[in-house]
Each structure stands twice: as C-alpha cells, then as structure tokens.
Structure 1
Amino acid sequence: MIQIKPLQREHMASYLRATEDEEIRYLTGTRTSFTLAQIEAYYERISMDNTRRDYAICLQDEVIGDFTLMNIDTENHSVGFRIALHDRTKFGQGYGSAAVREALRIAFEDLDLHRVQLEVYNHNPRAIAVYEKVGFVQEGVLRDAICLDGVYHDEIIMSVLRTEYKK
C-alpha cells in the first residue's frame, strides 16, 4: 500500500533517478539532463509556490514517484495534474492508479475544486489507461505536439470533473 507525503528536499535523489531513466524520459517527454543541485534548486522554487501542491508517492520508506497539483485556480476551481513513477519496476502494480485516486481526493475533497486536467502523450498508453480507469475523459488532442527522436507524437488533454469523481 502506498503512502502519500508532502514532497521534501530529501526526496530529490529519487526525482533525479527518474530523470536519468531513458524510458521514463521518453514517456514524459523530458529532454534536459539535470544534476542533483539543479533538482534541489527546483525543489526550493516550487516549495515557495502556493499555487501548487507536490507529493511523494512512497512504498514504506522508499520514494517510488511523485505527483503535483499545479496552477491551482481558486477562481475557476480548477487545477493541472502531473504524475511520474520513478522506478520502472513499479509500473503495472497499481501504484500509479492508487496515487491518481489520492490526487483526485485531495483536489476535490481537500481543495474543494471542480476540475482536474492533465496532458499525456499518445506514446504512453499505460498512463492513458490508468487515467481513463479512474475517470479522466479525453477532451482534445494537440496533434504532433512533440518530436522525440525524429518522430512526432500527439499530446492528449484529459480532465475529470467533481460530478464525475463523485460517481
């Protein structure tokens, strides 16, 4: 069973490992390489941003991923969402689905929002299946939005509304 904890500076080593994994970089469209110092500086910046909530996904004492509720818009009651598992050996075991469900609970119950939106690339069918399983609906496609290794991929926009979450 996973635990969700507020993201801390000590979680950044796991964050860095995820950015070094070629498959995870491909699935997330990450192109830049980072140092631990850069990741820690990023953490310092985001920890001061009150329009976002960042969480570590933990399995006992091990950080296996993270998710963010970002660009919290209290006027329109909406938020953006992103998630990443940091270790490919944790894929396909239900950890991502459980974390997405917890992110939705936080967004709709704790933050009292109405809409959660995400973007996912079409070359990440596992993630798309997870999002659909927990209630996200495809709203649109940004065609050929990213070019990785000379191949264009679509970016899919998905969302879930509070009324859909309650079902």
Structure 2
Amino acid sequence: MTTLKGEHIYLRALEPEDLEFVHAVENDETIWEISNTQTPFSRFLIKQYIENAHKDIYEVKQLRLVISSYKDQALGMIDIYDFDFKNSRAGIGVLLKDTGNRGKGYGTEALKLLLSYCFAHLGLHQLYCSISEDNEKSIKLFEKQGFKKVGLKRDWNYVDGAYKNEYLFQLINK
C-alpha cells in the first residue's frame, strides 16, 4: 500500500532545495497566527532544520513533509507534531502556501495521505489539531475527514490586538 502518493500530489521529505520555500513560508507574517510564530527565521536556521529533518520521528517527536505536485512544485507543508509514542497520538497541521493552490483539493488529498500514513505506518490511535474558530476552511477540511470538535479554548491566541478562541479537534482510529 502506498500511503504518501495520491492522484494529484504526493508527500515527500524535506530536501536542501526546499530552503527558499521553507524560509518564505516560515517568514510569511500573514500565517504566523497559525504557527504561533513571533519572530522571523534566518536562512541559516532553516538550513540547519532541513539538515536535521532526516532524524527519526521517535527521536524528535515531529515530522514535516512537503506537499508536492507531480511537476515537483512545492505547494505546502503538512506536519506531525507532539508525537507521543506511549499514548499513540500526535497533532497534525496543514498549510498550502499560495492562495491560488487552495480550493483545488490539494489539502484534502494531503490530509487523507497523512492520515493513512499515521494509522498504517506509525500505528497511531488518535490525531488532533487546533484551529482558530474563524478559520472556516480548515474546520471544514478536518471535519470532512472525520475529525470531531471536542473542545473550545477561550481567548487562546492574542492576534492583532484581540484574543481569539481556538477549537480542539480529534480523530480516533477505531
């Protein structure tokens, strides 16, 4: 069974050639709210991160994959974070870089591939994600894949001078 290759996209490991793409994503202030970033990242730090991306998920507790078209265009990234082997769970996040790539099914396909990978290869029992209550597209994306809203974190993130609520979603593999 191939879990990382879909019909229109595939998920792949970070490559040295991804330096400029990852640097642009990590330093895009319009998405800092999603990643809880406060300061820019240097090319040097991103280069070091990519050089160490080969480390095992069991060691570093995270895995970042590039969402790539079959024309080898990096469309976004999908992450597994807070990997908890003992409790068989992890958090996940999806980001498509350019708004022109949104609404074409790439996020849905990437999420389906990642779910398959997490359950088939990592043997996870559950996945979770946190989504700002005003991010309707992400809420719809995760709910479409079976994630259930299990909690509300009130005034969780301070963004542009105001506090925002954040939902916690969970998917349990039965």
Q: Shorter-chain-normalised TM-score: which range?
A: 0.7 to 0.9
Higher helix proportion, which one?
1
Contact in 1 for aligned 2:89/2:126 (Cα 8 Å): yes
TM-score, structure 2 length as denominator? 0.84
What residue is the counterpart of 1:58 in the other structure? Answer: 68
- State the alpha-carbon separation in 2 of the partners of residues 53 and 29 from structure 1: 18
Contact in 2 for aligned 1:122/1:156 (Cα 8 Å): yes
What does the per-residue CA deviation read over 1:45-76, in whole Å, with 9 as the maximum and x for residues that have no partner?
Answer: 45435322221100121111111112322221
13, 18, 36: which one aligns with 1:6: 13
1:90 is the counterpart of 2:101: yes
1:130 is the counterpart of 2:141: yes
Contact in 1 for aligned 2:66/2:77 (Cα 8 Å): yes
1:73 is the counterpart of 2:84: yes
146, 155, 158: which one aligns with 1:144: 155
Q: What is the CA distance between 1:82 and its match in structure 2?
A: 1.6
- State the alpha-carbon separation in 1 of the partners of residues 56 and 153 from structure 2: 28
- State the alpha-carbon separation in 2 of the partners of residues 128 and 9 from structure 1: 32
- State the alpha-carbon separation in 2 of the partners of residues 100 and 16 from structure 1: 23
Please give the secondary structure, in 2, of the residue aligned with 1:64.
Answer: strand
Unmatched segments (≥5 aa) in structure 2? 1-7
RMSD: 1.8
Unmatched segments (≥5 aa) in structure 1? none
Contact in 1 for aligned 2:14/2:53 (Cα 8 Å): no
TM-score, structure 1 length as denominator? 0.87
- State the alpha-carbon separation in 2 of the partners of residues 107 and 23 from structure 1: 29
What does the per-residue CA deviation read over 1:123-149, in whole Å, with 9 as the maximum and x for residues that have no partner?
Answer: 321111101111111111111111111
Identity score, percent: 27
Task: Output the amino acid matched with 2:119.
Answer: F
Contact in 2 for aligned 1:19/1:33 (Cα 8 Å): yes
- State the alpha-carbon separation in 2 of the partners of residues 99 and 54 from structure 1: 12
Alpha-carbon spacing, 1:88–1:25, altered in 2? closer, same or farther (3 Å): farther
Please give the secondary structure, in 2, of the residue aligned with 1:75.
Answer: coil
Task: Output the amino acid matched with 2:126.
Answer: R
Between Structure 1 and Structure 2, how many residues are aligned? Answer: 163
Q: What is the CA distance between 1:27 and its match in structure 2?
A: 4.4
